[in-house]
Amino acid sequence: MPLFNVNDNYQNPTAEGYYGDYGGAYIPEMLYSNVETLKTQYLQIMYDPIFQAEFQYLLKDYVGRPTPLFLAERLSKEIGATIYLKREDLCHTGAHKINNTVGQIILAQRLGKKKIIAETGAGQHGVATATVCALKGMECVIYMGEKDIERQAPNVARMKMLGATVIPAKSGSKTLKDATNEAIRAWINEPNETHYIIGSVVGPHPYPDMVARFQSVISEEIRKQLKEKTGSELPTHVVACVGGGSNAAGAFYHFLNEPTVQIVAVEAAGHGVHSGLSAATTQLGSPGILHGSKSIVMQTSDGQVVEPHSISAGLDYPGIGPLHAFLYESKRGIFLSATDEEALESAFHLSKIEGIIPALETAHAFSVLPKMNLKASDVVVVCLSGRGDKDLATYMEHL
């Protein structure tokens, strides 16, 4: 008996980029040419055999894929179910973000672009972008919220060492939302030579679909690895943290049309969902338009976007990708949340019982496991999206 109604639209948005009512390309005319070029060419370029050969080669020999699927035995025993960890933290640069940047840098070369811009929250996407720009000899400018520059100092240093220019976003809440605004404005001001590598499944169509496809390697590997380990390609649950939602989109992608697989997205509740200091978008948001697409947005009754809060810079975002908004609305996915405190606790706990220090973002995904009422027969895959080196300063305050 299938648990859910599946819908091909989850993997294939409409020609105009809609997943149900969410998506589209709400962009000013100044971005039309660039976005239209991407829209008409991305699928053709991405699935061209020569592109794929280079993409697969770089994923293997540069990124270090496939990443392991690790059976977390002590955690499994404690939770009372079989828990596998998809080790995206072992990717080059320490998180899943590089799957997308490797893909987009090859695409940018194909489009004849000379310069790359990107936004970053925790700095993982910024580092992953600066890395592939160094690899390909492209100029790289990263926009990062002033507040995030302070709390993610090691990643700022890494970006600079990789040759990127880091520009602080000083408007609004000085975090990911504002870094994204600044990156889009920079793109408007020099559209012809520049490609904008968006780091999550957000932004105008075709970005959400393109990024989801580049990240879908995560679930493609999970299926194969799970088959080898358990005899079945399908887990009972896939769990991932969601800010914009790129690691989640990648981990969910090849399970979206598998009705027996429960999809679990974990948002950042900050000080508590209703504390006024939260980033739990589906719980607090309503339909709106942010950064070029229609989705669920945290906003005032007047339609002004509110400033979110999360201890993790990567989840500190008042929106969510349109695919996730559709997963939420259609009830294909379950959306849970974890507070700052719960995430910290999980980070320390995972470190002690499995010897893996996760990123603060990733730690949110682990916080919900005890609340899921899992059975002994359940096979759960948690996307371990990034490692915790960048969060050491925060962790040290709580040692």
Interface residues with other proteins (CB under 8 A) are: 16, 24-30, 32-33, 171-172, 177, 181, 184-185, 188-192, 286-292, 297, 299, 301-305
Phi, psi of 194, deg, nearest 5:
-110, 140
Q: How far is the CB of 128 from other proteins (least distance, A)?
A: 24
Q: How far is the CB of 252 from other proteins (least distance, A)?
A: 27
| CA atoms of 205 and 16, how far apart (whole Å) | 7
| CA atoms of 130 and 126, how far apart (whole Å) | 6
Q: How far is the CB of 308 from other proteins (least distance, A)?
A: 12
Q: Which is nearer to other proteins, 5 or 304 (CB)?
A: 304
Torsion of CA 244, 250, 254, 257, to 10 degrees: 0
Q: How far is the CB of 146 from other proteins (least distance, A)?
A: 15
Q: Which is nearer to other proteins, 103 or 121 (CB)?
A: 121
Dihedral sign (CA 4, 217, 270, 285): negative
DSSP labels, 100-153? HHHHHHHHHHHTT--EEEEEESSSHHHHHHHHHHHHHT-EEEEEEEHHHHHHTH
Query: 272, exposed or middle or buried, with CB in 10 Å at 0-12, 13-18, 19+?
Result: middle
Going across the sheet that includes 165-169, the strands are 165-169, 139-145, 115-120, 194-196
Residue 182's contacts (CB-CB under 8 Å, 6 or more residues apart) are 119, 143, 167, 169, 171
Query: 343, exposed or middle or buried, with CB in 10 Å at 0-12, 13-18, 19+?
Result: buried
| CA atoms of 371 and 175, how far apart (whole Å) | 30
Q: Which is nearer to other proteins, 134 or 188 (CB)?
A: 188
Q: Which is nearer to other proteins, 37 or 52 (CB)?
A: 37
Q: How far is the CB of 288 from other proteins (least distance, A)?
A: 5
Q: Which is nearer to other proteins, 168 or 172 (CB)?
A: 172
Q: Which is nearer to other proteins, 165 or 286 (CB)?
A: 286
Confirm if 145 and 169 have CB atoms less than 8 A apart.
yes
Q: How far is the CB of 31 from other proteins (least distance, A)?
A: 8
List the catalytic residues: 97, 119, 385
